[in-house]
Structures are given as C-alpha cells and as structure tokens.
Homo-oligomer: A and B are copies of this chain.
C-alpha cells in the first residue's frame, strides 16, 4: 500500500525562508510564526498520514454505492470525516463568526495539499463544501449566511456546485434547468445536473446544493443564469430540518478514478431554491466558487504528483535491478537499487523539482489571495486572477504527467492495482478536466486574462521577474548562472510570445488561440522558474548564514539547478510553436479530418 508523508519541512521552508510570511503586513500573518505553522502542519500531516492515506485505496476499491436513493461512502470514510470535523480542519480559514478559525488562505492551502495528497476523493467532500460556503459568504444575505454557514463551516452539512448538464459543460448559456419564482420569494428548481462531485452521501445530515438555473422569463443565454441555494433537506427559520426537498440522485457515475467521491447525476423536481446574489448574475456568484476551486484543483495536480513521487522514490531505493554502469553501489547484494540508473534519476528529479516548485507556486498564490482579501490589495487580486488558469492548467497537466512517471518507475508493478500507483494517475486525471477543462484555462488566459485591465497584470508579472533578477544579480556567479540567466531567458521567451499574440491576434484571434496551450505551459514554466530562483536564493542565504541543515539547503539548490537546466528551456519550444500561428493548426476543413 502506498505511503504518504506530509512535506512539512519543505512547506516550512517555503513559508518562512522564501515567502517570509510572518514578516508580511497582511492582517493575520503576524501570527504565523514558524513554531505555530509547524504545529499546525504537523497535526494536519498526522491526520493525512495516519487516517486519510490508509483510506485512499479503500475508496478506490470500494467506491460509492447508491441503494434505494441513499448514497453510501466507502468503509471508514464516515469515521474519518468525523475526525476531520472534530479537529476543526473544515473551518480553518473560515470566519470565526461562523465557527471557523480565521486563518489565512496560505495555511489553508498548505494543509489542503496534505489532505488532497493523502486522499483526493475524500478531501473533495470538504473542498466542495468550502467552495459553496465561500460563495454564500461573498454573495449571501446576512440571513442566508447565518442560516447556512455555521453548519457548512463545521461540515455538519456539506455543499456542492451544480453547473454541468448533459448537453452543456463549458457553454453554460445553453443551460435548461429552470427556476420558477414563488409567491414567498423562493423558486421552484427543475432540471438535471450531471458530474456533481459529492452530490450525495451518508456523511452529513444535509447537503447544500448551489445550483445554476434560468429564471423563467429571464434573458436568453448566459445572461439569464442565476445561482440558487437548494438544500437536500428543508431547513426552517429556526434552523430545524424538515421534509426532504425535491432533490434526488439519478445515479452515481462510473469513473476512471476518484471512486471514493460520489459523482452524481442530480435531479431537481420542483425543488425549493433560494436566490443567492442577484437575479441573472449567477455566473458572477459562481465564479467566486470557481476561482477558489481552480486554485484548489491546481493544488490537486501538485498533491497527486507529490504522493506518487514519494512512493516512486521509496521503490527506487528498495527495488534491486541491474548495476550502476559506473561501478556497483550495492556490491554485496544481487543488484543495485533502481535509483542508481540515470534514467530513473532523471524521472525522479523531474518529479521532485516539479513538486517543490509547484508547492512554492501554490503557496505564493495563496499569499496573493490573502493580500487581496485581507489587505484589499488590488494588484495582488489582479495578479492571482491572471495566474489562476496557469495554476489550474499547468499544474494539473504536468502533475498528471508526473504521476505517470512515478508509475513508470515501478515497471509492471505500476500497472497492477495492488501497488496503488495506478490510482494516483487515475485520480490525477480528473484535475485536467473539472472546474474548466485545461483548454478552457488556456483560452481564459490568452483570450481574457492577458488583456485584463489593459494588460496591467501581465506587465506587473514581467516587472516582478525583472526586478527579482535585477535585485539579486551580481552577488554570486554560480547562482546567477544556474538560476537568474535561465529565468531571464525563459521570461524573454514568454514576453516574445505575448508580443506575437499582440501583433498577430488582432488580425486573426486564431493566431493567438492556436498557441494558447503552449502559452499556458510556458507561463507555468516561468512561474516555476521564478519560484526556483527564489528558493535558490533562500537556500544560498541560509547556507551563507551558517544554517545547520546544510544537506537540506544543498539539495534544494541541486534540485533547482536541475529544473532550471533541463525543464525551463521548454519555453523555447513553446515559443517556436506559438510563432507558427494558426496556419497549420486551422488549415483543414472539418470535413477533411
């Protein structure tokens, strides 16, 4: 069975050596001293390792089942959910007013990675609830917040997002689910929603569905979409639960992975719903959940990659096969461990350098969320909005590839379910799809985010990279050569790609959109390059300051050098592709494919 160990030490390095969070002026950050975050992370790590990780294969093997309209989660999920709730983990970064602990998102992200890595399917029950609660927090009336939030923050009740219908996923304007206004101000919701994660289950007394629907008589298309709170069980004004609402589970989908999460077809049959936010402004309200969810999904890409990597690393040290060509490393044994072989090393270094770089990227993103929410920092808000599709698309595409690489280290044993490596790839696969398929992320990035606010945010990103390079160059030749020069080159490639879009996208937007996937990936590489440059700087400084754990910091530098030398140059290939424009991509008539 796979193991999972929380990356507490690495997370602490990023939080304190790199991001220096406790020195930040963001409200609440002053409390995030190293001892405090260490204690939180240790506790979360224990829960992940001891409780959630052992249930991961159980969830995969058993899956969820629907019997007489009731969804049953896999053995052990319910008890584990109680433990998560009792530990206060579900409201970690929620307001105290509703029972939360009011910690910054950066702590929520650090903990969230551990939970996702140890058991993605399980953690989604909590994750969707968090997203739904955030939408109510942002768009609900005080009465709505008082009514729904306390029990959602505690996960006594869980939440869902209902967007997709059989004939429409990305293109929500085609939605058919309708909402009929009632005399009491509520609505009757009727329609079918599919792919509803955590749609129903036996771990909570009630489920608060957030459902997109069209108010009868409203505008056509996406402009007529509103968001509704639709509880599974009716709740009266005193908070007492009453009759079942007109919400039922059509079926549980058979999926490639995340079997432990109940992905449901949900049927709404004149179910009572309450408008959340403004009429016909459902997309705006939904995007509060969606943006949060996208960052969370990007984190899943990292999480699965890291969990898979940890096991691949163990296996590469345990499994004896072949000899080091430069001389036996285990001469008394029948063979050397796999890790002596250069191609296995290459794979492990790719995984390790991705996971650590991605972790820094995610946590940096979370500090921007905190700055936006807690300090009303509009620049941070704009920058994280620009980077959201990069975090979601790049980290899940590459995260998935990394689980495939980890599986490959096991050879045939990776293909056998018994070893658990297949589950990492099967679970990681969904992250490239849900909360906006990665092609949609690339479109969002190139078609919308680049030009947002007059291109201000992308310029700010380039400035940030440039300033970092300028401020840190010339102190250490080895560092400059290994970190700053590659970052400079990669950033230049990214700017050149942006320039190509500006010059060629006007006359034909397909010249930009044909390169959108490449742009998203090269942007991701530059971000990870920036993270590694920052981590390299922090490690160099720690060593210069006489840090005792020299192996840790030297390993950090070596891992960064690998990323900068072998992974970051991918930007040149992406640029070369982008520069070919739409011609070869769009050449064929659809009929001639």
Chain B min CB distance to A221 (Å)? 9
Chain B min CB distance to A463 (Å)? 27
Q: Which partner residue on chain B sits nearest A400 by CB separation?
A: B404
Q: A168-B321, A562-B585, A593-B313 are in contact. Are A341 and B513 (CB under 8 A)?
A: yes
* A170–B344 alpha-carbon span in the complex (Å): 13
Q: Are A584 and B558 in contact (CB under 8 A)?
A: yes
Choose from B171, B317, B417, B508 the contact partner of A590 (Cβ within 8 Å).
B317
Using an 8 Å CB-CB cutoff, how does the interface string of A337-348 with B read, 1 for contact, 0 for none? 101111111111
Q: Are A169 and B321 in contact (CB under 8 A)?
A: yes
Using an 8 Å CB-CB cutoff, how does the interface string of A241-261 with B read, 1 for contact, 0 for none? 000000000000111110000
Using an 8 Å CB-CB cutoff, how does the interface string of A560-575 with B read, 1 for contact, 0 for none? 0110011001101100
Using an 8 Å CB-CB cutoff, how does the interface string of A176-209 with B read, 1 for contact, 0 for none? 0000000000000000001100000000000000
Q: Are B342 and A582 in contact (CB under 8 A)?
A: yes
The answer to whether the Cβ of A416 comes within 8 Å of any Cβ in the partner chain is: yes
The answer to whether the Cβ of A276 comes within 8 Å of any Cβ in the partner chain is: no
Q: Which partner residue on chain B sits nearest A418 by CB separation?
A: B254
Q: Give the total of A residues in contact with B, Cβ under 8 Å.
A: 94
Contact segment of A121-129, A283-291, A438-446: A438-446
Q: Which partner residue on chain B sits nearest A401 by CB separation?
A: B401
Q: Which partner residue on chain B sits nearest A569 by CB separation?
A: B576
Residues in B neighbouring A349, C-beta threshold 8 A: 584-585, 588
Residues in B neighbouring A337, C-beta threshold 8 A: 590
Chain B min CB distance to A329 (Å)? 8
Residues in B neighbouring A584, C-beta threshold 8 A: 349, 558, 561-562, 565-566
The answer to whether the Cβ of A100 comes within 8 Å of any Cβ in the partner chain is: no
The answer to whether the Cβ of A466 comes within 8 Å of any Cβ in the partner chain is: no
Residues in B neighbouring A562, C-beta threshold 8 A: 584-585, 587
Copies in the complex: 2
Choose from B254, B554, B586 the contact partner of A342 (Cβ within 8 Å).
B586
Residues in B neighbouring A195, C-beta threshold 8 A: 412, 416
Residues in B neighbouring A404, C-beta threshold 8 A: 400, 429
Q: Are A342 and B585 in contact (CB under 8 A)?
A: yes
Q: Are B593 and A348 in contact (CB under 8 A)?
A: yes
The answer to whether the Cβ of A430 comes within 8 Å of any Cβ in the partner chain is: yes
- Name 13 interchain pairs, CB-CB below 8 A, sorted by A: A169-B412, A171-B335, A195-B412, A256-B425, A339-B590, A342-B582, A343-B516, A345-B514, A412-B437, A415-B429, A561-B587, A566-B580, A566-B585
Which residues of A does B touch, CB under 8 Å? Answer: 164, 167-171, 174, 194-195, 253-257, 313, 317, 320-322, 325-326, 334-335, 337, 339-349, 352, 400, 404, 407-408, 411-412, 414-418, 422, 425-426, 429-430, 432-434, 437-439, 442-443, 447, 508-510, 513-514, 516-517, 551, 554-555, 558-559, 561-562, 565-566, 569-570, 572-573, 576-577, 580, 582-588, 590, 592-593
* New A-B pairs, 18, CB < 8 Å, besides A256-B422, A425-B429, A551-B592: A171-B322, A174-B321, A195-B412, A255-B415, A325-B509, A325-B513, A326-B510, A337-B590, A341-B443, A341-B513, A342-B513, A342-B516, A345-B586, A400-B404, A407-B429, A555-B588, A558-B587, A561-B584
